[in-house]
Structure 1
């Protein structure tokens, strides 16, 4: 079986950490200090500094802000929609984050396989139904979809957040798939 060093993390150039602008290097080192490793997405996107900065600024604006969607629910959206987009990197990496944030070793696998059968609340299922429609058939989103969300206690701001997360990770999934981005081995065991 190939070892992790056998595979490249991206088919595009991956710069050395020492070659990066100071702000990017500082961000990557902070992530490494917190997690114990450098997630490959940081290195894979680093060859385009302006896009790296914009990508992570929007990521943080969506995923780290306070609101009525918990951080675990935000990760649920990423895992479910990334599975629909067949993005190995995001399912594995965000599955690990979800396991930690939800304090559940099973939830990420359940959502990645079939969120409709996962151990989640009816509210979370409605959230994921909407996110999946945004991800796979946004042209078909209509008033009735917002009414369903409202019946489950979601506001219009929440609907925007669900939409933006599903849309942002649609972009991320496509970049990860085309670049053949590899998830770090460490992600597979986190939160188990």
Structure 2
């Protein structure tokens, strides 16, 4: 079965710049991502139409998603993104980050499960508590209270972890809205990533 075929990045109203025309620092980062992933995720080109905003966006993205001194695993972070992006009806982020989630968690079904109903998903009680907090930040941040932090503490999260959960949720709330309003399309490659085990390497 082949991946869905689409070359459109976003709305014609906001055309993505050509890679060759990007500032050198952005071009270098895009080529680095292409080398690692085998393709360029559309978000890297769609947002590059405004270089200063691109730099700010990915600096904060990396500060949150690559932070080493966090109690959250890479899979936890992608699970937060996938679940809250679904609540925000963001096609791009659900498909793209769901693919990364499947790979990190080594669970082909988990992204679909948390996107539709994380309470029924095959995840740990710790992850469910994490997503309860993330979803409250996503939908009703003004209602966060001490009891919400206590529920996280019961599963081993501390207050800095709560900050991470909230910051990831909030940052991707911005990302979701930018992707949706500009009609950013997921790369076809994302749809199949992590769904089937990789074939064993021959000796």
Q: TM-score, normalised by structure 1?
A: 0.96
Shift of 1:38: 0.3
**Residue 58 (structure 1) aligned to one of 53, 57, 60:** 60
CA distance in 2, matches of 1:135, 1:51: 23
1:43-192 pair list within 5 angstroms: 43-66=45-68, 67-192=70-195
Q: Across the two proteins, how many residue pairs are aligned to each other?
A: 190
Deviations 1:19-72 (A, max 9, x none): 000000000000000000000000100000010000001001100112210000
Matched residue, 2:6 = 4
Backbone CA RMSD of aligned residues: 1.1
CA distance in 1, matches of 2:164, 2:5: 39
Shift of 1:17: 0.4
CA distance in 2, matches of 1:157, 1:170: 20
Q: Note the residue ranges of structure 1 that are not aligned, 5 or more in a row.
A: none
Shift of 1:8: 4.5
Matched residue, 1:29 = 31
Q: TM-score, normalised by structure 2?
A: 0.91
CA distance in 2, matches of 1:36, 1:18: 18
Higher helix share: 1
CA distance in 2, matches of 1:102, 1:8: 27
Shift of 1:9: 2.5
8 Å CA contact 2:134–2:165 kept in 1: the answer is yes
Q: Note the residue ranges of structure 2 that are not aligned, 5 or more in a row.
A: 196-203
8 Å CA contact 2:9–2:46 kept in 1: the answer is no
